[in-house]
Amino acid sequence: MTEASLIGKSMVRSDTVAKAAGQALYTADLKLPRMLVGKVLRSPHPHARILNIDTSRAERLRGVKAVITGRDGHGVKWGVFPYTQDHDMVPTDKVRYIGEEVAAVAAVDEETALEALSLIDVEYEPLPAVFTIEEALKEGAPLVHDQYKNNINVHVHIEVGDTQKAFKEADIVLEDTFEAAGEMYGMLEPYAVVAHYTPDGYLDIWMPNAGPHVRAKALSNLLKMPLNKIRVHHINSGGAFGGRSEISPGDFVTSLLAIKSGRPVKLVYTREETSIATRQVHDIVARIKTGARKDGTIIAKEFKVYYNGGAYSSTGPIATSIPFYVYEETYRLPNLVYDGYRILTNRPIRGMYRCHGRAFLAGNAMHMDKIAEELGMDPMDIRLKNGIRAGETTATGSKIISCGLQDAIKAAARKSGWKKKRGKLPPYRGIGMGCLAIMCGFPMGFRSGSSAYIRVNEDGDATIVSGVVDNGQGNESMMVQIAAHILGIPMDSVNLVCSDTEVTTHDPGAYSQAAAFVTGNAVRLAAEDARDKILTAAAQYMKVDKTRLALKDKMVYLKDDPEKAIKLTRAVRYAMSKGQHIQGYGTYIPKISFDREWVKNPYGQMAGTFSYGTSIAELEVDPETGIVRLLRMVVAHDCGNPINPMAVEGQLEGSVAMGGTATILEEHVWDGGLQLNSDFLEYKMPLSVDMPDIDTILVRSMDPEGPFGAKEGGLTISMSAYKAIANAFYDATGVWLKEFPYTPDRVLKALQAKEKGRR
Amino acid sequence: MNRIPITLLVNGEPYSLAVPPNKTLLEVLRDDLELMGTREGCGVGACGACTVLIDGVPARSCLTLAVDVQGLSITTIEGLAEGDELHPVQEAFVERHAIQCGYCSSGMILTAKALLDKKKRPTKDEIKRAISGNICRCTGYAKIEDAIATAAKKLATPSK
């Protein structure tokens, strides 16, 4: 149809006026009558048996309304999968990391709550602890959980082709180990929860989250309450980046306090608590062996990848797999063996991150460049040669239905001046490239789909009801834009009711890049259904054939005679008078393999579609100080078709900060089980002055399944920017720096080692 | 704890309060005046989410004691718009997609306003330096810098 198109236009986001005005509410802003302040008592030990907890003195303190320990729970442990249910959100047997929840109080004010914490007596028997992957794997090492032998929490084994034979046939074989320290999510909003339990047994709860429906289900399991008595409400979220996907111990604690006190309770984490007691990023060690033919074709890969998983499973099987999958979705890999091990340690809880897997992914990128160098190939050409294309199937069996990888590589190369610069820049200046694919939605079984409905009112405005959630990326606005476009009404004529679990439809959440492709399709179908109903009514009213009608500017008009038109309101009212209310319904589930399982059967269709991207980094290394300065990043991302181009650009630019600039700055530093940089003074996140110049390029592959051809918008850059930096560092220095981040100490050590080697 | 009577001038309105001497301006704004647009990100003055203007100068309200700013003019994000009309800096942030999660936006916008009050046509570098004490985890700063440059242009041309 030829309506005024809103798709592909940079529209003002529907949520940002309130945010600019300071009127948008976040969880910590909520105030309910009689609300109490919650505080958590945390373990000072990395590993200790809990012998006794005496809360009687705290309970007697004036102003204290509830004290809870693990005994107030139902003994149900959290885990994303039946075989990983090991996280007692307030443990009763032993603590497994410094900062773990031991007890909590709700009191009339913060001072009273803090004083009450000091009155709780806990007797611990300290136990030997393990902190690093090596320590945890040592023969006879203390076990974090008895059921995980050798502290191996998850082992993902994937085998394709005949790898040993392929290595024998390879002309080049490389083997290296790459390491990366885990990062901090660093969402600017500290974690916060508000919970209220009503006397008739309903729990209302607010927290920043990236999947309200999955959050409600987890709470329903842990609190042994029916799902329809738990209502996760809509609230703005101050960033997620993968870190708000799962239930947090804070949700459970606040719920217990609200249930026990019978009053609303607000728990706001300090920044330090947010760093220590909400999930952060895995340390990773990746051993990678690569075999290639003389013509640059990669024919064999062998991976042994270790993830420091902290004390509990979390999304373990997924976290242990994703770096591999995003790699196999990018390149043809005929023969491979992947062994991913998630190792439990007495470090805090770990989860999935927007830039997850930098040791593994950057390692593979360095191998690709090494091979190119040995063969005298341009790193761009080896990527074009091995890059997967639409119509092909990945190693583990995902069919690729659209792929802009070749275009992304070429566009980024052109824009960056690649041919003129690669290998030709002055000493200590370099340029490098990295590519990546990402699935638009994880396979989540029956939870993989989304549905939506849309009502069109008698005034011609519309209301969407969707489970979509927005953590800042613009998902809410995207749904409004899709519906407004289809219904031919302005965006500000559309209201979105979302992410409230008792009102809205099911949705997989926003943490697996599903919003554009999955939720967007559900909203598209709902709007198309509503449009069809409007046109049916208008056709009856106007006594014309429905196929001749279209919607634009709140009018229904004849496509072949636009002068003949009626107001949208007329059509809606006419329909209503016939008892045909304008309510559209849409539901979409991606075409994935339902028999695929992360550990037991890691083969089959992973996602409905995949997006593709390329990062090119140009940087400068100061050999005196070891400081790496990013000069320019050119990033090209195939999002199928951008629904709101400026919003997609924003995702790419944010990815350059988090996946790029972070490569020279960010890591959590430890003394055993004690995190040494939990605040924003000690943990260095990119500031405006650390950022390079950024060029963003949107590649349009027009996905055949995506809404208006759209796919996920930006994650390929979060996970390829560091690849580009690793290769640019080599171009600048001649050193393969295999340890992340590229801080001055690591850089100087590497440069000095190279000097020594030369002498 | 004993409370000290103070009068704060916030967004042009005088407020008479009695506050404990250790209460921060951030806490008073949020708890007592219910101006929730001023946000806490780190509590140690590192992130700038709590930025307000004190006599036109950006300051960390999490590090400022309420009793220390008596009689000074305090501007919070709620004080920028005139009725329904957003301030040109706010407008530019909306139009140029300088806002994603929005948690840093209040502090970022106020810092930008203070810059543009002092400097009508800041260079790109001056913009970068002005906001280098405000952390944004979402945008990579590019659209924020663009919005500030756009706001400078808006402020230079008399409004519609």
CB–CB of A20 and B105 under 8 A?
yes
Q: What is the pLDDT of residues A568-591, one digit of tens each?
A: 999 999 999 999 999 999 999 999
A519 and A583 together in one domain = yes
- Identity of the residue in B38, B103, B109 whose CB atom sits nearest the CB atom of A238: B103
* A555: CATH: 3.30.365.10
CB–CB of A20 and B90 under 8 A?
yes
ipTM of model: 0.98
A555 and A581 together in one domain = yes
Q: Does A13 touch chain B (CB under 8 A)?
A: yes
Mean pLDDT calculated for residue range A2-15: 86
Q: Which chain A residue shows the shortest CA-CA distance from B107?
A: A22
Element (H, E) at A276: helix A271-277
Q: What is the pLDDT of residues B103-148, one digit of tens each?
A: 999 999 999 999 999 999 999 999 999 999 999 999 999 999 999 9
- Structure tokens belonging to residue A168: 């024998």
**Which residue, of A543, A563, A588, is where some domain finishes?**
A588
User: What distance separates the 2 farthest-apart alpha carbons in chain B?
Assistant: 52
Q: What is the pLDDT of residues A136-174, one digit of tens each?
A: 999 999 999 999 999 999 999 999 999 999 999 999 999
A509, pLDDT greater than 50: yes
Q: Which chain A residue shows the shortest CA-CA distance from B102?
A: A19
* Disruptive mutation site among A15, A19, A661, A687 for chain B (greatest number of B CBs within 10 Å): A19
**Is A8 part of any domain?**
no
The per-residue pLDDT for A427 is 97
A424 and A501 together in one domain = no
The per-residue pLDDT for A527 is 98
Q: Which chain B residue shows the shortest CA-CA distance from A184?
A: B137
Q: How many distinct structural domains can be found in chain A?
A: 3
Q: Which chain B residue shows the shortest CA-CA distance from A11?
A: B95
A731 and A670 together in one domain = yes
Given pLDDT bands bounded at 50, 70 and 90, which one contains residue B159? low
Interfacial A residues in 446-485 facing B (CB < 8 Å): 471-474
Contact call for residues A448 and A518 (beta carbons, < 8 A): yes
Q: Where are the domains of chain B?
A: 4-79, 88-155
Q: Which chain A residue shows the shortest CA-CA distance from B34?
A: A29
**Is A508 part of any domain?**
yes
CB–CB of B39 and A236 under 8 A?
no
- Identity of the residue in A12, A20, A186 whose CB atom sits nearest the CB atom of B137: A186
Question: Is beta strand A450-456 parallel, antiparallel or unpaired with respect to A462-466?
Answer: antiparallel
* A229: CATH: 3.90.1170.50
In this structure, chain A runs to a length of 759
A26 to chain B, closest Cα gap in Å: 8
- Identity of the residue in A239, A241, A680 whose CB atom sits nearest the CB atom of B46: A680
Q: What is the pLDDT of residues A300-338, one digit of tens each?
A: 999 999 999 999 999 999 999 999 999 999 999 999 999
B-chain residues near A187 (CB < 8 A): 101, 103, 137
Q: What is the pLDDT of residues B51-83, one digit of tens each?
A: 999 999 999 999 999 999 999 999 999 999 998
A601 and A572 together in one domain = no
The per-residue pLDDT for A4 is 58
- Identity of the residue in B42, B101, B135 whose CB atom sits nearest the CB atom of A687: B135
Mean pLDDT calculated for residue range A249-269: 98
The per-residue pLDDT for A758 is 74
The per-residue pLDDT for A757 is 82
Contacts of A465 by beta carbon, 8 Å cutoff, 6+ apart:
A452, A453, A454, A455, A497, A498, A503, A504, A505
Q: Does A510 touch chain B (CB under 8 A)?
A: no
A-chain residues near B103 (CB < 8 A): 26, 187-189, 238-239, 472
A647 and A520 together in one domain = no
User: HSE on the CB side for A437, CA within 13 Å?
Assistant: 28
**Is A546 part of any domain?**
yes
- Structural domain span for residue A716: 280-443+596-758
CB–CB of A188 and B106 under 8 A?
no
- Strand ranges of the sheet holding A628-638, from the earlier edge strand across to the other edge: A429-439, A610-621, A628-638, A693-699
The answer to whether the peptide bond before residue A741 is cis (omega within 30 degrees of 0) is yes
Q: How far apart are CA A165 and CA A168, in angstroms?
A: 5
Detail the DSSP E strand segments found in A207-262: 230-232
* Mean of the per-residue pLDDT values of chain A: 97
Interfacial A residues in 219-238 facing B (CB < 8 Å): 236-238
B-chain residues near A238 (CB < 8 A): 39, 101-103
Q: Which of A32, A263, A268 is closest to B26 using CA atoms?
A: A268
Interfacial A residues in 188-217 facing B (CB < 8 Å): 188-190
Q: What is the pLDDT of residues A402-419, one digit of tens each?
A: 999 999 999 999 999 999
- Identity of the residue in B46, B101, B131 whose CB atom sits nearest the CB atom of A472: B101
Mean pLDDT calculated for residue range A461-480: 97
* Disruptive mutation site among B101, B104, B108, B126 for chain A (greatest number of A CBs within 10 Å): B101
A466 and A438 together in one domain = no
A-chain residues near B91 (CB < 8 A): 20
Mean pLDDT calculated for residue range A99-122: 98
**Is A163 part of any domain?**
no
CB–CB of B99 and A681 under 8 A?
no
- Select B4-79's CATH number: 3.40.50.300, 3.10.20.30, 1.10.3720.10, 3.30.43.10: 3.10.20.30
A-chain residues near B40 (CB < 8 A): 28, 190
Interfacial A residues in 634-673 facing B (CB < 8 Å): 646-647, 649-650, 653-658, 661
A70 and A203 together in one domain = yes
A119 and A218 together in one domain = yes
SS3 A653: helix
Q: Does A698 touch chain B (CB under 8 A)?
A: no
- Structure tokens belonging to residue A428: 């200590």
Distances from the Cα of A124 to the Cα of A43, A46, A59, A347, angstroms? 9, 11, 21, 18
A-chain residues near B42 (CB < 8 A): 190, 271, 679-681
CATH of domain B88-155: 1.10.150.120
The per-residue pLDDT for A1 is 39
A257 and A376 together in one domain = no
Q: Which chain A residue shows the shortest CA-CA distance from B76?
A: A22
Q: Does A309 touch chain B (CB under 8 A)?
A: no
- Identity of the residue in B36, B95, B135 whose CB atom sits nearest the CB atom of A685: B135
* Mean of the per-residue pLDDT values of chain B: 96
A481, pLDDT greater than 90: yes
**Is A518 part of any domain?**
yes
A564 and A513 together in one domain = yes
- Identity of the residue in A473, A686, A691 whose CB atom sits nearest the CB atom of B100: A473
Q: How far apart are CA A750 and CA B62, in angstroms?
A: 41
DSSP A529-583: HHHHHHHHHHHHHHTS-GGGEEEETTEEEETTEEEEEEEHHHHHHHHHHTT---E
**Is A48 part of any domain?**
yes
Distances from the Cα of A245 to the Cα of A215, A279, A660, A716, B99, angstroms? 8, 10, 23, 19, 22
B7 to chain A, closest Cα gap in Å: 23
- Identity of the residue in A187, A271, A691 whose CB atom sits nearest the CB atom of B43: A271
B-chain residues near A471 (CB < 8 A): 101
Q: Which chain B residue shows the shortest CA-CA distance from A241?
A: B138
**Is A155 part of any domain?**
no
Q: Does A114 touch chain B (CB under 8 A)?
A: no
**Is A164 part of any domain?**
no
Given pLDDT bands bounded at 50, 70 and 90, which one contains residue A2? very low
Q: What is the pLDDT of residues A417-466, one digit of tens each?
A: 999 999 999 999 999 999 999 999 999 999 999 999 999 999 999 999 99
CB–CB of B101 and A17 under 8 A?
no
Q: What is the pLDDT of residues A373-403, one digit of tens each?
A: 999 999 999 999 999 999 999 999 999 999 9
- Strand ranges of the sheet holding A561-567, from the earlier edge strand across to the other edge: A549-552, A555-558, A561-567
Query: What pTM, to 2 d.p., does this model score?
Result: 0.97
- Identity of the residue in B100, B103, B131 whose CB atom sits nearest the CB atom of A688: B131
Question: Is beta strand A450-456 parallel, antiparallel or unpaired with respect to A152-160?
Answer: unpaired
Q: Which chain B residue shows the shortest CA-CA distance from A22?
A: B37
CB–CB of A12 and B46 under 8 A?
no
A212 and A297 together in one domain = no
- Identity of the residue in B46, B100, B102 whose CB atom sits nearest the CB atom of A681: B46
- Within A387-494, residue ranges assigned H as helices are 405-416, 418-421, 475-487
- Structure tokens belonging to residue A372: 């190119």
In this structure, chain B runs to a length of 160
A115 to chain B, closest Cα gap in Å: 15
